[in-house]
Structure 1
Amino acid sequence: MLGAGIFAALTPAAAAAGSWLLVGLAIAAAVAYCNATSSARLAALYPQSGGTYVYGRERLGPVWGHAAGWSFVVGKTASCAAMALTVGAYAWPDHARAVAVAVVLVLTAVNVLGVQKSALLTRIIVVVVIAALCTVVVAIAPRIETGNLALTGSAGVGDVLQSAGLLFFAFAGYARIATLGEEVRNPEVTIPRSIAISLGIALTLYAAVAVSVLGVLGGDALGTATAPLAAAVEAAGHPWLAPVVRVAAVVAATGALLALILGVSRTALAMARDRYLPSGLSAVHPRFGSPHRAEITVGVVVAALAALVDLRGAIGFSSFAVLIYYSIANAAAFTLRGKLIPVLGLVGCVVLAVSLPWQSVLAGSVVVLCGFGVFSIAHRTESRRNP
């Protein structure tokens, strides 16, 4: 969760709701908790890779499993573009798109060669990011103007919900814990507890950063900032800290992008093997052991998105598709005992999804519906092949 989201999502959330983004952050965290809890219960029952692609298929039927997998692939592909654009915005703002495309192509090549982000590298990235965020909070806290935090302005309920939907992007990653069901002791207890703790830590850090940045910049300035955390430390009179923030943002976003490209390509590989995506994507490189065709395809699509869309559009589209993904997870969890959390999660996902910018809702709806068309074609082809 401590990736590019906190460095990028505050700007579109502030543009939507101003200081009310703090309420949006709380709503996003509540929906994230429901989603992760539902995923954890399902992971304990189906301890295998694939996430909601598996849960939807087993509990609701193949069409919903495919819808979840399709939503994950397209949503996380947009997340990749958002991560790449975040790298560009903080590394070289005047040439953000060129940097984004270059980073995607380099990391795609790295993944094709079978190089993966290690656990040690993950720990280093987390330490660097937490240290940078804590330094930002401590440094700019004395310059916070309480008037900037007042819940005033013309933001309505729809604006607050839109900010929550956009900030939901920053919580991406919390449910990865749920995929570890077959690797931990007593997963029925350990996984939900781990999810609650990780969400609590992330929310505390996000809230501290959001309050600090909003308190220094104010809603209007935050809503137009290209690199909001760097802008906040400069406005607080600490220009020396801006390069540190930029480096931390680049490290966080690059690490998240590397893992995302890896995850999306593996999901595409699984769906290709099940003949829900072109079978050519299931090829594995004989030397490097990587699904090179899937990774190259994902890399090309992400690079194209990074060259064509803006950061707000990428975040909105990603949030829409991922919220659909978790809607299916909650629907699957509803078939188990304990209905309250899945209902709250399902309602929350749907409400936040339709509250996003209309461009994101329209584009996301079209792409998700295309997924059902792909399933129908693949199902008919398979039925003719195996009558």
Structure 2
Amino acid sequence: MKAAVIGATGYGGAELVRILSNHPYMKLEALLSSSSADAPYIESYAHLLNINSLVLQPIDQEILHEIDIVFIAAPTGASTKLVPMLREHHKRVIDLAGDFRLKDQQQYSDWYNKQAPTEAHLHEAVYGLSEWNQSDIQHASLIANPGCFPTATLLGLAPLIQEDIIDPASIIIDAKTGVSGAGRSPTMNTHFSEVNENLKIYKVNSHQHIPEIEQMLKHWNRQAAPITFHTHLVPMTRGIMATIYATPKVAINEQTLLDLYKTSYENKPFVRIRELGQFPTTKEVFSSNYCDIAVTIDARTGRITIVSVIDNLMKGASGQAVQNANIMLGFDERAGLDIVPVYP
């Protein structure tokens, strides 16, 4: 299968290049960029010297003619314009941005402050939460890759919300991310002097991933309610930790809770459930497609705590995108993704 990456100069695009360079069934054929066309890719990423010889090309229908699958790693808003052209030419598309995740056009406009895609393409797009939407992904041609925070959060909550074990109105999510989640373009918020030795809460009560999480929770359980979701920027390059709190509807012990998670993810190769009393760190999934989850119950309050960690650029973006492509194309979902986490 011949693959192309649109938005190759960003961090998500660079991760796609890294994965696809070693993929057994997909060949990276073209790297497309609206801002750096005609430049050798190694001018953007010198670590690929003698590894990648491709030249960045403009987004052109002729270039895409021989391509089978397109990964869009461009900023949110670009896919709304690109997908109609790509689908008209019957290209399979994995969109890493937020354009097609929300099914309600008005909701998308309200949270993203951009014009929504057409109803037809929103209806066609399948939400690519790999572990839980495999049957739909298998038959899809357009995948809306989940956001990084929703991936960690939804994988952490799925067993509880689907089995109706927790009070949905009690869900509180405290999530922290590395700076690469903000993208490669420098801003004051990602300036070294602003980030270093600092911990910052941002987008309080207004993060665009809130409706995405709520939409999926509602899909799993009609009783799902609005969530409390707060994000923090920490001075590290990559990684997400979502610490999730919820109150159970009925008494449940830790071993039963752990057994539920182990059963839910026993055939999911990229979700690893920790034993009781063991809690994952972001470094333990660094540069990999794994999501590590731990669960516990506070004996004093009865409240459940879930700790879910991912690499935001891998399982939170490009890794899951390739996992979705593998499922869509009928490959082993682990193809190109059996990457051991980098440690320390």
- Normalised to the residue count of structure 2, the TM-score between the two structures is 0.24
Q: Higher helix fraction: Structure 1 or Structure 2?
A: 1
Higher strand share: 2
TM-score, normalisation: structure 1? 0.22
